């Protein structure tokens, strides 16, 4: 008996094999390349072996206008203008650490304000949101004017916040239509703030977000908004999809051959329905078949 079921992309075949249902293993038919070996950093904040380091505390040579910021004790402080990476990137995992100024001036958007622009277009907000009220889609961890974060995970001014950003760039068709929108995931201080959020378009202060065709790669930019926000440990990993090639259609592995059951021996097993040494005398065989006596 053979019964097939399809569960999404996983096909499981059930067969009667030796009186029992047996599940066959499903194979995709894709031959995958071995994933590259990546050595983690000595700490979770340290760059892994395949990282591109954008700021390691020594200089901002990887950035245009990097000479306008100050560097002291391994920390870069925003001044004068935004800085933008000289190199362009597509899908990335971005790590950066930032700290709001200890001197609290202003409130709302006027307090510890900066931003991280992905592809130079899509802003993940940086803001001192520790006991600082503002519009929710403008606080730290938001996609500016598109969505609030799932939580407020801010540390106090002067303490360090860590952003881990996973960004997937949009794709456009030949006619300019959106084939795939951009997506961003953000973890701040170990807390998920954006869960694969679908971006509606580039960030704008004056316009509703909407897509226009652009390149699949672009720079990263850190904003100067008038506040001396500090940064350290900035690095990223370029994300490449797994590589494989189809060598066959999906299939189920064949079942192993059924094992033959052992044959019975030449002698009939003894009748063990009565307990041994019961004290009963077994009746002769003919007594079991002789009819009972009757009186005429």
Summarize the confidence of residues 226-241 as an average pLDDT.
96
Q: β-strand 114-118 against 92-99: which pairing, if any?
A: unpaired
* Domains and their CATH numbers in the chain: 36-241 (2.60.120.560)
pLDDT at 10 over 60: no
Whole-number pLDDT of residue 191:
98
Percent helix, strand, coil in the chain, to 5, is 5, 35, 60
Cα–Cα distances (Å) from 182 to 33, 143, 167, 211, in that order, read 27, 12, 7, 10
- The two tokens of residue 151 are 């939580």
Residue predicted with more confidence, 277 or 63: 63
pLDDT tens sequence across 34-75: 999 999 999 989 999 999 999 999 999 999 999 999 999 999
CA 143 to chain centre: 19
| The residue to which tokens 């078949």 are assigned | 289
What is the chain's mean pLDDT, rounded?
A: 86
What count of other Cβ atoms lies within 10 Å of the Cβ of residue 53? 15
- pTM reported for the whole predicted model: 0.78
d(CA 156, CA 129): 9
Collapsed DSSP state (helix, strand, coil) of residue 83? strand
Whole-number pLDDT of residue 1:
40
Q: β-strand 26-27 against 251-252: which pairing, if any?
A: antiparallel
pLDDT at 167 over 80: yes
């Amino acid at each position: 008996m053979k019964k097939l079921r399809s569960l999404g992309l996983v096909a499981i075949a059930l067969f009667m094999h030796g009186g029992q249902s047996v599940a066959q293993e499903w194979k995709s038919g894709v031959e995958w390349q071995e994933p590259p070996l990546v050595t983690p950093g000595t700490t979770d904040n340290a760059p892994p072996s395949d990282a591109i380091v954008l700021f390691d505390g020594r200089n901002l040579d990887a950035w245009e206008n990097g000479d306008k910021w100050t560097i002291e004790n391994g920390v870069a402080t925003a001044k004068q203008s935004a800085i933008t990476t000289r190199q362009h990137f597509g899908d990335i995992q971005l790590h950066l650490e930032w700290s709001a100024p200890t001197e609290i001036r202003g409130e709302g958007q006027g307090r510890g304000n900066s931003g991280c622009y992905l592809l130079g277009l899509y802003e993940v907000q940086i803001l001192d949101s520790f006991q600082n009220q503002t519009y929710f889609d403008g606080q730290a961890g938001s996609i500016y004017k598109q969505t609030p974060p799932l939580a407020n995970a801010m540390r106090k001014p002067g303490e360090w916040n860590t952003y881990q950003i996973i960004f997937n760039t949009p794709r456009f068709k030949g006619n300019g239509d959106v084939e795939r929108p951009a997506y961003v995931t953000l973890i701040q201080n170990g807390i998920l703030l954006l869960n694969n959020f679908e971006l509606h378009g580039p960030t704008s202060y004056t316009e509703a977000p909407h897509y226009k065709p652009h390149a699949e790669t672009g720079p990263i930019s850190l904003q100067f908004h008038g506040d001396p926000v500090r940064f350290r440990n900035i690095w990223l990993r370029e994300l490449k999809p797994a590589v494989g090639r189809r060598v066959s259609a999906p299939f189920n592995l064949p079942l192993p051959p059924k094992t033959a059951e052992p044959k019975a021996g030449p002698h009939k097993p003894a009748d063990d329905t009565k307990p041994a040494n019961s004290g009963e005398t077994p009746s002769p065989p003919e007594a079991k078949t002789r009819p009972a006596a009757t009186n005429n």
